[in-house]
C-alpha cells in the first residue's frame, strides 16, 4: 500500500506531527532526527498526499483554466506559458475546453468550484456566465479580454488596429479593406478606422467582410471569403487588407491565389495574433505579448489568493501589441 506519514513515523520512531514539521521545514526539529527521517523518506520514496494536505490547508494549489477555443494556437501558447509560471509557483492546472459554449463553460466552472481550485483563469469568458463566476468568490482573472468590473488582462485591440493602419498607410496604401468581426463592436476595426480618418481616408464599406465567429468550419469560411472576392473582383479591389486573425489571413491569401492575385505583389495583408502559423507562413501580423499577458494574469491571481481580505480594486491591464513586419506587406506606388 501507499505510505503515509504515520508509516514513516512508526518506522523511524518519531511522532507523526514531527514528520510533518520536518517536511514543512519547521525550525524546531533536532538536526539529528531530521537527517534520519529525511534519509528514510528518501530511501522508501515517500511522498506526502497532496489531497490530505489540501483538505487540511483549505487550499488545493490548483488553478482552473478554461479555454474557449483550442483550435486557436494563440490560446495554446497562453496555456503553455501559464502552465510554466504556475508550476514554478507549485500550482498545477486543471484545463477545460468550453468551445465557446456557455453551458459547457458553466459546467467547467462548477468543476473548478467542486475541486476547490485556488484561482480561475478564463480565456476568455462568455458574458452569460460572468456574474455567476464572480459570485463564486474564487479569485478570477479574465485573459485576452477586458471585462467591466473583473480583473482582466488583455491587449489593446484599438492600438493593434492603429498600428496595422499606420503600417499600411506608410507603405502607400490608401484603399484598404477589413476582414474580421462586427465593425460596430470590434476594437481592431475602430482603431484601424481612427487611423484611416486621421489620414483623411474614408473606409469603403464594400471592402468589409464580416467573418463571424459562428462561421466555424474552414469550409464555411472559405466559401464566404471566396464569394466576397468573386463579387468584388470586378470593382476596384483594395491594395491591402487588415485581417482580424492569422488563420483567416492565411485562408484569404490562399483564396486570392485562386483569383491569380499574389500576396504581397498584388495585395498586402496584415494579420492579427501572431500565432505560430504567422511565423511559419511569414505573415505580417500584430503580435500579442503572450508571455507578459500570462505572467501578469498569474501575478494578479496570486495577489488575490494570498490576500486574505478581498481587495475591491479591479485591475484592468491592457498591453500594447507589436507589429511584426514580414512578407505579406509591400510598398506600392501611388497612381494619382
Rounded to 5, what percent of the chain is helix, strand, coil?
A: 45, 15, 40
Shorter beta-carbon distance to DNA: residue 33 or 166: 33
List the single partner that 6 binds among its own copies, DNA, none, CB under 5 to 8 Å by kind: DNA
List the single partner that 76 binds among DNA, its own copies, none, CB under 5 to 8 Å by kind: its own copies
Q: Does 4 bind DNA (CB under 7 A)?
A: yes
Q: Does 76 bind its own copies (CB under 8 A)?
A: yes
Q: Does 2 bind DNA (CB under 7 A)?
A: yes
Q: Does 292 bind its own copies (CB under 8 A)?
A: no
For the record, the C-alpha cell of 299 comes out as: 501575478
Binding mask 196-225 for DNA (x = CB under 7 A): ------------------------------
Reported residue count of the chain is 336
Shorter beta-carbon distance to DNA: residue 27 or 200: 27
Question: How far is residue 187's CA from residue 190's CA, in Å, rounded to a whole number?
Answer: 5
Q: Does 20 bind DNA (CB under 7 A)?
A: yes
Q: Shortest gap between Cβ of 19 and DNA (angstroms)?
A: 7
Q: Does 14 bind DNA (CB under 7 A)?
A: yes
Residue 319 backbone dihedrals phi, psi, to 5 degrees: -90, 150
Write the CB contacts of 221 (distance below 8 Å, at least 6 apart in sequence): 211, 215, 248, 251
Shorter beta-carbon distance to DNA: residue 56 or 88: 56
Q: Does 71 bind DNA (CB under 7 A)?
A: no
Q: Does 276 bind its own copies (CB under 8 A)?
A: yes
Residue 260 Cα distances to 241, 243, 291, angstroms: 16, 19, 39
List, in sequence order, every beta strand (DSSP E) within the chain. 62-67, 92-97, 119-123, 140-143, 152-155, 176-180, 208-210, 240-243, 268-273, 285-287, 316-319, 322-324
Question: How far is residue 334's CA from residue 255's CA, in Å, rounded to a whole number?
Answer: 25
Q: Does 58 bind DNA (CB under 7 A)?
A: yes
CB neighbour burial string for 10-26, b if at least 16 within 10 angstroms, e if fewer: eebebeeebbbbbbeee
Question: How far is residue 268's CA from residue 263's CA, in Å, rounded to a whole number?
Answer: 6
For residue 240, the SS3 value is strand
One of 50, 103, 311, 314 touching its own copies (CB under 8 A): 50
Q: Does 103 bind its own copies (CB under 8 A)?
A: no
Q: Does 116 bind its own copies (CB under 8 A)?
A: yes
Q: Shortest gap between Cβ of 298 and DNA (angstroms)?
A: 23
Q: Does 305 bind its own copies (CB under 8 A)?
A: no
List the single partner that 71 binds among its own copies, DNA, none, CB under 5 to 8 Å by kind: its own copies
One of 25, 42, 45, 56 touching DNA (CB under 7 A): 56
List the single partner that 93 binds among DNA, its own copies, none, CB under 5 to 8 Å by kind: its own copies
Residue 105 Cα distances to 29, 66, 78, angstroms: 48, 7, 18
**Cβ neighbours of 48 (radius 10 Å):** 16
Q: Which of 136, 127, 74 is nearest to 100 (CA)?
A: 127
Write down the H helix ranges in 218-310: 218-232, 246-258, 276-281, 290-306
Binding mask 229-268 for its own copies (x = CB under 8 A): ------------------x--xx--x--------------
Q: Site residues (CB under 8 A) for its own copies? A: 47-52, 54-55, 60, 62, 70-71, 73, 76, 79-80, 83-84, 87, 92-97, 107, 110-111, 113-116, 218, 247, 250-251, 254, 276-277, 279-281
Amino acid at each position: 500500500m501507499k505510505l503515509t506519514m504515520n508509516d514513516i513515523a512508526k518506522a523511524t520512531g518519531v511522532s507523526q506531527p514531527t514528520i510533518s514539521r520536518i517536511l514543512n521545514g519547521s525550525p524546531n526539529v533536532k538536526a539529528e532526527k531530521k537527517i534520519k527521517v529525511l534519509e528514510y523518506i528518501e530511501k522508501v520514496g515517500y511522498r506526502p498526499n497532496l489531497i490530505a494536505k489540501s483538505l487540511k490547508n483549505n487550499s488545493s494549489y490548483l488553478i482552473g483554466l478554461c479555454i474557449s477555443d483550442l483550435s486557436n494556437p494563440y490560446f495554446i501558447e497562453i496555456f503553455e506559458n501559464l502552465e510554466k509560471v504556475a508550476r514554478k509557483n507549485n500550482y498545477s492546472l486543471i484545463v477545460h475546453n468550453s468551445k465557446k459554449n456557455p453551458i459547457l463553460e458553466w459546467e467547467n466552472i462548477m468543476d473548478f468550484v467542486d475541486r476547490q481550485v485556488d484561482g480561475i483563469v478564463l480565456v476568455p469568458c462568455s458574458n452569460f456566465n460572468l456574474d455567476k463566476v464572480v459570485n463564486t468568490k474564487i479569485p478570477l482573472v479574465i485573459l485576452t479580454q477586458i471585462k467591466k468590473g473583473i480583473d482582466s488582462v488583455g491587449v489593446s485591440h484599438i492600438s493593434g488596429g492603429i498600428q496595422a493602419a499606420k503600417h499600411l498607410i506608410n507603405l502607400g496604401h490608401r484603399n484598404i479593406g477589413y476582414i474580421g468581426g462586427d465593425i460596430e463592436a470590434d476594437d481592431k476595426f475602430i482603431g484601424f478606422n481612427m487611423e484611416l480618418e486621421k489620414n483623411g481616408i474614408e473606409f469603403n464599406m464594400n471592402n468589409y467582410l464580416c467573418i463571424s465567429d459562428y462561421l466555424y468550419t474552414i469550409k464555411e469560411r472559405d466559401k464566404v471569403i471566396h464569394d466576397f472576392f468573386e463579387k468584388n473582383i470586378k470593382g476596384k479591389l483594395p491594395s491591402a487588407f487588415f485581417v482580424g486573425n492569422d488563420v483567416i489571413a492565411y485562408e484569404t491569401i490562399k483564396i486570392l491565389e485562386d483569383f491569380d492575385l499574389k500576396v504581397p505583389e498584388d495585395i498586402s495583408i496584415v494579420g492579427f495574433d501572431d500565432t505560430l502559423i504567422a511565423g511559419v507562413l511569414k505573415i505580417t501580423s500584430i503580435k500579442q505579448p503572450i508571455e507578459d499577458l500570462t505572467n501578469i494574469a498569474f501575478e494578479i491571481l496570486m495577489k488575490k489568493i494570498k490576500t486574505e481580505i478581498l481587495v475591491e480594486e479591479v485591475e484592468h491591464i491592457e498591453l500594447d501589441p507589436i507589429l511584426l513586419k514580414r512578407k505579406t506587406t509591400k510598398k506600392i506606388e501611388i497612381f494619382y
